[in-house]
Structure 1
Amino acid sequence: MDRTDTPDAEETPLLFDKRKPVQDKLTKYGIIAILLIWGTVLLFRVIPSLPGRKFKLAHSKTTKNGLQKISFENVRKDLFKPKMQSLQWLNTPEAKENDKGLYVANIDDRYVIKSVFDRGYSESLLNSKNFTFQGVEYKVDSMAAAPDLSQLIIRTNTKQNWRHSTFGSYFVYNKTSEEFHHIGDDIALAKWSPNSVDMVYIQGNNMYLYSTESHTTVETITSDGDARVFNGKPDWVYEEEVLESDCALWWSPDGQYIAFFKIDESQVKEFTIPYYVQDKDDLYPEMKTIKYPKSGTPNPDVDLWIYSIKEKDSFPVNVNHLSRESSPVLITEVVWVGEENLIMKISDRSSDILKVVLVDTLNKESQLVRKNPSEGGWWEITHNTLYIPKNDTLDRFHNGYVDLFPVDGFNHLVYFSSFNSSKPIILTRGEWEVVGGPLAFDHELNRIYFIATRKSSIERHVYYVELHKPEEIHPVTDTLSRGVYGISFSAGARFALLSYRGPKVPYQKIIDFKSKENLDFGELDGNILGKTLYYLEKNEKLREILKEYDVPKKEFKELNLGKDDDGEDILVNAFEILPNDFNPKLKDYYPVFFYAYGGPNSQQVLQGFSIGFNEVVASQLNAIVVVVDGRGTGFKGKRFRSLVRDNLGEYEAIDQISAAKLYSAKKYVNANKISLFGWSYGGYLTLKVLERDAGEYFKYGMAVAPVTDWSLYDTVYTERYMHTPQENIDGYVKSSVHNATSFGKVNRFLVMHGTGDDNVHFQNTLKFLDLLNLNNVENYDMHVFPDSDHAIKYHNANNMVYDRLLNWAGKAFTDQF
């Protein structure tokens, strides 16, 4: 037997000499013991870095520092949702000259007029959220005050239609007499006239004029409305993609005219959606048919009409004849620029050419005042064109408007000093963008307020510029600190609700831009212009709650994805969320959960405050969450976003794959556990990434409500980026999800969709499943949500969809597939 491991009196280890003193032996034993101890310590330190350590989900509810982790349960309870208020500013007749900052507040179930200027001012509009009419009790679902605040329009018995539209019963309430009067049922919309006496309402797709003096319908404005002709309200595609609202009518400033859309859907093809679980006793599905124009098929025919209150008659503008387009044009915006003039924006169906038409309602004449080609990109639809009224004293010699316009490849503010001018004055310029357009105009100071990315494309700060001092940009918010701000202005632009939305805990405050008091710069919080009157919301409760939680760290960065076709670096915005107790010394350990949307001109990487599904993934799945805004997304200029024109799905997929390649090379990342999740366009992008990557970097994918073929999606959105299939058939084929063989090389993927999706039809997923069947691809899971629309919320579906995503990803990361 070999005994060299334990020396004793009879056997001499090779390391020792009998002739040495005893103390030498003791010394050497001591040295060996020390070496063994240190070796053991080093071994335990090295072990976590050794390959092969098994990945585990984060089962503990707390982190090493004793704080709680983010869970789905508390996210669903909105525990981390900041409380944010909105003010319904009141645009009273005297507000431009004497702005008191009036707004409507809901206090103790009462609707009350308040003033930010005089906090003690309070005037009741309606004393309860409920009212009784002819013995029947009703609940107030929404209300709108007349301009002079004397009366209210109230909607009750509300039924949701599409995303923005509803039907309901409408009443008018008189504050003085405290009487309610029933206008009608199944009404889609009601809007006050500027005279505070009349209103226009829409019922059965026809428009009616109602007088609160006689409490009767005094005029039938249109009579041709039916299931195919819409007057004053949008059809499905105009509501969803163009106006993004339920309203397609506009009162003139003096209330003498109503401009409105007449939309004829006669040529638009129908799409039928079956609903299976609306009633448990139904034996047959309920079939709902909508007019839905798919790419390359006929659009609705739309024209702008003008109704004269005085003449009690209407006339059309005839926009298709005016624009000389062979197919129906898109009317994207209508703005009154005076009491008798308005401008409207029209474009061809592919948004290549933008035209601005001036309408003279008095003479019933129209003229084309400017025509602007997109020059390689496209014209996005905007709704913030701002009327600038004439004022000789303040050097505004004509009625004009401020618009959003490309300047050197970036969206900026320009001023058309006359409404029939075709050449603008450039107000802002630079390699940054104005977001949305002008927000407010101070009539006394000639000051235009706006939000822009001037500091950073992933921040939002408030600025102003004066009409007669173009390109002199003044910050309103503190640009020395990171921030995402929103702002809404009172009617005279003296007061504003400033909303700080991150990255720290959000707050809201009321500021006064015309305070004569000196500012104390040591106490400023967010704004460097305007006196802070008071905080509307500090979210102090949320701040206290967060002290008990270890929110996974979010780090914003700019990734270099390599070289583009011109040899220039592809620099994209991104952020990563590291899991709790993240240990960068672990080797081949952490999975990576990519989340993407990626649609044209969109943005996900923004330094706002949010604790939601991504943080749950990081906390509960012990995964690194990564979000990348690749090429095609917004706020980095025209060149960056317009690259995807006519070729959706290619560059967006390339950039996600390049980012995955970067993360797969990180020592602490397990390159075999990289996944991608997306919803809607993000679902489409997920499938295009899996198709292109074929399992090289992305091993797993989760696609929710995906587009799979752009010929199945609506005309207005799709053709803006792809033109029509007739013009770009190769682009449509290439951009579709078509290579089933690639999906067979992915470890596994998940597809989920709602059958009642009126936006991205379930047909998209069914066609994709058929493709998989034809090619014997079986490495996927499928979950269908009966009757759910695009948001997937019907019958507990929203809980189910996110539970499924989290559990499915957990199985992927723990090798259960």
Structure 2
Amino acid sequence: MLLPNATATPGYLPLSESNEEQHPFPPRQSRPERGERQRRAARFPETRPPLWIPDPFDSAAIARQDELDDDSGEDTAYESEEDGLGEGEKGQLRSETSESKEATDSSDQDDGWEFSLAALQKDRIKRRRRLLVLFPAFLVLTLFFILALVNLFGPSSGHHRFYGAAATKKRMTLDEVLNGTFAVQTKRVEWVALAAEQGGEVQDGLYTERRFDGSILLHDPFHNSSRVLLAADDIRGTDGARLLWYRHKFSADGMYALVDSHWTKVWRHSTLANFYLHRLPSDSNAKPASSPTRPIRTPHSPPGTSFAHFSPTSHHLAYVHANDLYVLPAETIDADPEGKGWEGDAIRVTSDGTTTRMSGRPSWVYEEEVFSSDSTLWWSPTSAHVAFITFDESDVPLYKYPIYNASPASPAGEVQYEGWEYPKEVGLRYPKPGYSNPLITVRVFSLSHYRSLSSDSSLSSADRLSRSLLTLRLARPFNPDDQGEVVTEVAWIGPDEVLVRMTDRSARVERVGRFDLSAVDWERMSGSEDEVGNVLEGEVVRETDWWQKDGGWAEAAQTIVSLSSASAANGDSYAPGYLDLVPDAEGFVHVAYYSPDTTSDAVFLTSGEWEVDAIDRVDLARGLIYFTAARPSIARHVYFIPLPRNVGELAALRTGKSKRAEPTLLPGQGSSDSTKEVGTYSVTFSALAGSYWLSYRGPGIPWQKLYKIDDPDTPQQLTGNRHLAETDAAYLHPTISYSTERLEDGGTGSGEVEVNVMELRPPLMDESGRTKYPVLFQIYGGPNSQMVSTQFQRDFQHYLATSLDYVVVRVDARGTGFQGRKFRSTVRGRLGEVERRDVIEVARRWAEKAYVDEKRVGVWGWSYGGFLTSKIIEANSTVFSLGMAVAPVTDWRLYDTLYTERYMGLPDANPGGYRNSSIHEMDGFRHADFALAHGSGDDNVHFQNTALLLDRFTMAGVRNFRFRMFTDSDHSIMTRSAYGELLRWLEGFLLERFGHGGRTKGRWKMRKDPSGNRAPFGPGEHDFGEKS
């Protein structure tokens, strides 16, 4: 409080009892007379004002003090008392002063200290003023110095600041990754072979394209002409309204178009729809018929037809409805002048279709693991026969899972359907290891024989049908004790010759059977297909015990190519037979020629330590075989080689008298011999193989071009993705490098191996070691898979590298594809063991790199990648401190038979392998951060897998994990925008545990490109490194 008779002075602190002795000196004032000072001291002995402590933000107080400091002061006042006086007055003053000097000496000695203290106070106030001026500057300099020290020697996190060209570029956002900002535009076209309007010859190189309005254009690119082949308004439903359709096909003779509507997804590859046939006008100037569009069956909602396929000649149609096979002959289609459709006129080939028995379409496990298709029927080359498979799932256990919200479009809390209070159930026949597989029967319906019996009036339609159906069986079937055989391929190699490839249940032994329908005595066919007369036995022409050969398995692939059904016949009598993709003596998959078709001795037309991915086309007219090869393994290029034109040329290759032709690169691609031009290409050929559509898929901006075989120097640009290129150029991109890591075999007996590695580094990354970056490994690792590739991608991994400054590494460990069977087969019987060892070893090497923060090394994967991520965390290697698993298999006894038993064998034969391959050791999860996500509606990897792992966490007391279930989502986690939410959840988990990318010790320096410019790598620049 204020003392009596004292007032508060602005800019001063009031005196208090606690501080009155701390401030003995008053502020500078004019010196009063001595008597006055004594009177003041007697009246207020202890009331000296404290030392002035100015408020640095009180400008008024500072100004008032400046005014006091600028006054003349006491010394100046005494020195100037003579100013303005005359000489007499000055003398008198000096005399008076001299006379009084002696009287005052003793008193001056008493208060002389006040003079000296006043001078000292003046100096101190001056120093305070200087301090007030310097103090803010000192604070600024100190703060700057501290920040500099932190930047130089202390850890920091966050984005780098770019200058120069990089400063103008943007970082991609996760929303941009998800919303299609970097989507590749491709044209979806269909090659057609139509008779010319004049002359009747088939024109090659024509293709169709659907426009946005639904019309279909016919393009003749080499004559620069286009016309509307099918107008959108011409396709109308039974009610006369314009039909909204999804897909289209054209018959081989160009007379009909097939379209579908009310498309409904079933499983990964299968759908249901209503199908319509549309009669095309006979010439471009003809007007369409009054009702040219007709349903092949009465439309239903929901629909019930699985698919419909035209025959390779004419316009016969085969389709599957309600799990039964139907065939519409061309003459039946043509004989419908009223346009009512053909529901009652189609030939019903099978009539035993149920929910557990289906013909012409695969069961769930065959769709998923063998054919990757919704169809298991195959027309013969001349359209005389249809081969198909019947599946019987009666003994396959039923798996059920709930659907919590059966109305996907309804917001939470809204009732959109009756009975929503109870979850709906979805059931599917899902065989798990050791349980019953579907029983399979390969059959053939002979349309030509059925039609030939139409003149016999004594036969009913049922008799004609039964006399036209065959059941195909191997002469040497697999042992029934092996619990069934697996059909992996059905392929016609001639008008009446069909091959069926089969394996035993565990895919150790493979057999190829040949069936010749020309040897069938159709006249002796009985009226019941179950009798012996309706069974055709096939000769086993090839057999391989892969388990004995290299400890591996028989692949489930469809790779047989018929020569009789190639693009065009030629005048040469080429060696009869067929082509197939088969491992050579070194275990690398190459093009093999089997001639005659009864031989098991193949002539390899390609060789080397690289593998052929697919045979794209055989052109008999030019004598060429086109194929796609993984050469090198991370790339895809299209090549061609000559086809031996006769038996003599093939014999010379077989005996070694002539050398194999070196593959020639198809024009339009970068040279695969130059690491700067390694890329990914794919191709489709026109109806007669005179033209081809070449698609470049990366690593640069994708494009599509149309080439003519006889004039490849003048291609036509179809899509160049110019808009994508402009958009992409405005963003920063990671630096991508490829390398191989040489690893020890780890006791597997495979010797040293080289695994492919792909690294995505943040733009302009500091490689000096002063900045430490987190590393996230993205893995899949399943048998025959591949993740390290040269395809164009702008995905979640690119976002992490570019915008969060993470180093992302992809590894293709042993077991993955395109590096030979020796590289793959080591994982047989022990999934997750060898792959885990390889990934951990590569990660250990990366953790030792100067720019890597060894405490922030994580791994993540989806499906098999989620399984492998869990196995890696389970290993407790100390290398990985974080793992994220999405929809993982956690115990192989919970996955399907055809996949699991192919690589693991039967559980009873390999109990230890199944145990070791499950996620059962919990200690590693206690020492790492772990995120786990799964869709509750996953029909592929059941949610049961994650539930089992969560239960093991509970029993073991593992608590440092994060879990997220995505309601009703299947294996792709797409239901109700779940995919974007999943990625944001994973991103949040990374940022919570690892934070943003680079943590710097030392100033971050911008790396310069070779030209000296401070700019990042362009979007198409990649580094194909050397082997390490």
What is the TM-score when the length of structure 1 is the normalising length? Answer: 0.88
SS at match of 1:655: helix
In structure 1, the residue matched to 2:559 is 384
Which of residues 475, 485, 492 in structure 1 aligns to 2:681? 485
Change (3 A) 1:194 1:395: closer
Compute the displacement of 1:799 (Å).
Answer: 1.1
User: What is the alpha-carbon distance in structure 1 between the residues aligned to residue 166 and residue 686 of structure 2?
Assistant: 49
> Is the 1:129–1:140 Cα contact (8 Å) retained in structure 2?
no
In structure 2, the residue matched to 1:504 is 700
In structure 2, the residue matched to 1:753 is 934
> Is the 1:63–1:69 Cα contact (8 Å) retained in structure 2?
no
Which of residues 214, 218, 224 in structure 1 aligns to 2:335? 214
User: What is the alpha-carbon distance in structure 2 between the residues aligned to residue 710 and residue 63 of structure 1?
Assistant: 52
SS at match of 1:69: coil
> Is the 2:211–2:217 Cα contact (8 Å) retained in structure 1?
yes
SS at match of 2:553: coil
Mark the runs of 5 or more structure 2 residues left unpaired by the alignment. 1-142, 282-288, 337-341, 408-413, 451-464, 521-535, 645-658, 998-1028
Which of residues 416, 435, 439 in structure 1 aligns to 2:616? 439
Which of residues 427, 433, 455 in structure 2 aligns to 1:289? 427
Compute the displacement of 1:467 (Å).
Answer: 2.2
User: What is the alpha-carbon distance in structure 1 between the residues aligned to residue 442 and residue 866 of structure 2?
Assistant: 37
In structure 2, the residue matched to 1:732 is 914
User: What is the alpha-carbon distance in structure 2 between the residues aligned to residue 157 and residue 760 of structure 1?
Assistant: 28
**RMSD of aligned C-alpha atoms?**
2.7
> Is the 2:475–2:540 Cα contact (8 Å) retained in structure 1?
no
> Is the 1:587–1:668 Cα contact (8 Å) retained in structure 2?
yes
Q: Deviations over 1:441-480 (max 9, x none)?
A: 11122211111123x1111111111122734322223223
In structure 1, the residue matched to 2:305 is 187
User: What is the alpha-carbon distance in structure 1 between the residues aligned to residue 758 and residue 769 of structure 2?
Assistant: 21
Residue 100 (structure 1) aligned with residue 204 (structure 2) = yes
User: What is the alpha-carbon distance in structure 1 between the residues aligned to residue 924 and residue 839 of structure 2?
Assistant: 16
> Is the 1:385–1:401 Cα contact (8 Å) retained in structure 2?
yes
User: What is the alpha-carbon distance in structure 1 between the residues aligned to residue 275 and residue 939 of structure 2?
Assistant: 27
Compute the displacement of 1:780 (Å).
Answer: 0.3
User: What is the alpha-carbon distance in structure 2 between the residues aligned to residue 355 and residue 567 of structure 1?
Assistant: 27
> Is the 1:103–1:114 Cα contact (8 Å) retained in structure 2?
yes
SS at match of 2:786: coil
Compute the displacement of 1:62 (Å).
Answer: 12
After superposition, residues 238-249 of structure 1 pair within 5 angstroms as 238-249=366-377
Compute the displacement of 1:196 (Å).
Answer: 3.3
User: What is the alpha-carbon distance in structure 1 between the residues aligned to residue 352 and residue 163 of structure 2?
Assistant: 63
In structure 1, the residue matched to 2:923 is 741
After superposition, residues 201-350 of structure 1 pair within 5 angstroms as 201-210=319-328, 211-215=332-336, 216=342, 217-279=345-407, 281=415, 282-309=420-447, 310-311=449-450, 312=465, 313-319=468-474, 322-326=477-481, 327-350=483-506
> Is the 2:217–2:226 Cα contact (8 Å) retained in structure 1?
no
In structure 2, the residue matched to 1:633 is 816
> Is the 1:404–1:438 Cα contact (8 Å) retained in structure 2?
no
Greater Rg, structure 1 or structure 2?
2
Residue 786 (structure 1) aligned with residue 967 (structure 2) = yes
After superposition, residues 258-657 of structure 1 pair within 5 angstroms as 258-279=386-407, 281=415, 282-309=420-447, 310-311=449-450, 312=465, 313-319=468-474, 322-326=477-481, 327-362=483-518, 363=520, 364-374=536-546, 375=549, 376-389=551-564, 393-435=571-613, 437-454=614-631, 456-468=632-644, 470-476=660-666, 477=669, 478-479=671-672, 480=674, 481-515=677-711, 530-562=712-744, 564-565=746-747, 568-587=751-770, 589-657=772-840
Compute the displacement of 1:78 (Å).
Answer: 1.6
User: What is the alpha-carbon distance in structure 1 between the residues aligned to residue 934 and residue 880 of structure 2?
Assistant: 22
Which of residues 956, 981, 985 in structure 2 aligns to 1:800? 981
Q: Deviations over 1:76-130 (max 9, x none)?
A: 2222222122331225699999551122211353112223443314351343496
Compute the displacement of 1:190 (Å).
Answer: 1.1
Compute the displacement of 1:209 (Å).
Answer: 2.1
After superposition, residues 150-165 of structure 1 pair within 5 angstroms as 150-165=255-270
Compute the displacement of 1:373 (Å).
Answer: 2.0
Compute the displacement of 1:585 (Å).
Answer: 2.9
User: What is the alpha-carbon distance in structure 2 between the residues aligned to residue 641 and residue 340 of structure 1?
Assistant: 37
User: What is the alpha-carbon distance in structure 2 between the residues aligned to residue 60 and residue 757 of structure 1?
Assistant: 44
Compute the displacement of 1:404 (Å).
Answer: 3.5
In structure 2, the residue matched to 1:196 is 314
User: What is the alpha-carbon distance in structure 2 between the residues aligned to residue 465 and residue 299 of structure 1?
Assistant: 41
Change (3 A) 1:602 1:567: closer
Residue 125 (structure 1) aligned with residue 230 (structure 2) = yes
Q: Deviations over 1:574-604 (max 9, x none)?
A: 1111113421234362111111111111111
After superposition, residues 708-723 of structure 1 pair within 5 angstroms as 708-723=890-905
Mark the runs of 5 or more structure 1 residues left unpaired by the alignment. 1-39, 516-529
In structure 1, the residue matched to 2:860 is 677
Q: Which amino acid aligns with 1:452?
A: A
Compute the displacement of 1:301 (Å).
Answer: 0.7
Q: Which amino acid aligns with 2:206?
A: L
> Is the 1:251–1:258 Cα contact (8 Å) retained in structure 2?
yes
Change (3 A) 1:415 1:620: same
User: What is the alpha-carbon distance in structure 1 between the residues aligned to residue 889 and residue 350 of structure 2?
Assistant: 38
Change (3 A) 1:666 1:780: same
User: What is the alpha-carbon distance in structure 2 between the residues aligned to residue 96 and residue 273 of structure 1?
Assistant: 57
In structure 2, the residue matched to 1:527 is none
Compute the displacement of 1:572 (Å).
Answer: 1.4
- Amino-acid identity (%): 32
Q: Deviations over 1:200-229 (max 9, x none)?
A: 221111112223123422321101111111
> Is the 1:68–1:548 Cα contact (8 Å) retained in structure 2?
yes
Q: Bigger shift: 95-104 or 498-507?
A: 95-104
Structure 1 or 2: more helix by fraction: 2
User: What is the alpha-carbon distance in structure 1 between the residues aligned to residue 856 and residue 889 of structure 2?
Assistant: 25
Change (3 A) 1:590 1:392: closer
User: What is the alpha-carbon distance in structure 1 between the residues aligned to residue 372 and residue 996 of structure 2?
Assistant: 44
Residue 81 (structure 1) aligned with residue 183 (structure 2) = yes
Q: How many aligned residue pairs are there?
A: 758
Q: Deviations over 1:625-661 (max 9, x none)?
A: 1111111111111111111111110111111111221
Compute the displacement of 1:561 (Å).
Answer: 3.9
User: What is the alpha-carbon distance in structure 1 between the residues aligned to residue 475 and residue 564 of structure 2?
Assistant: 29
Q: Which amino acid aligns with 1:153?
A: L
SS at match of 1:377: coil
Compute the displacement of 1:59 (Å).
Answer: 10
In structure 2, the residue matched to 1:13 is none
Q: Which amino acid aligns with 1:266?
A: S
Q: Which amino acid aligns with 2:277?
A: V
Compute the displacement of 1:195 (Å).
Answer: 4.5
User: What is the alpha-carbon distance in structure 1 between the residues aligned to residue 145 and residue 767 of structure 2?
Assistant: 18
> Is the 1:55–1:589 Cα contact (8 Å) retained in structure 2?
no
Q: Bigger shift: 173-182 or 643-652?
A: 173-182
User: What is the alpha-carbon distance in structure 1 between the residues aligned to residue 146 and residue 425 of structure 2?
Assistant: 68
User: What is the alpha-carbon distance in structure 1 between the residues aligned to residue 626 and residue 313 of structure 2?
Assistant: 28
Q: Bigger shift: 626-635 or 321-330?
A: 321-330
Compute the displacement of 1:149 (Å).
Answer: 1.2
SS at match of 2:187: coil
User: What is the alpha-carbon distance in structure 1 between the residues aligned to residue 967 and residue 422 of structure 2?
Assistant: 14
User: What is the alpha-carbon distance in structure 2 between the residues aligned to residue 129 and residue 639 of structure 1?
Assistant: 57
Q: Which amino acid aligns with 2:815?
A: G
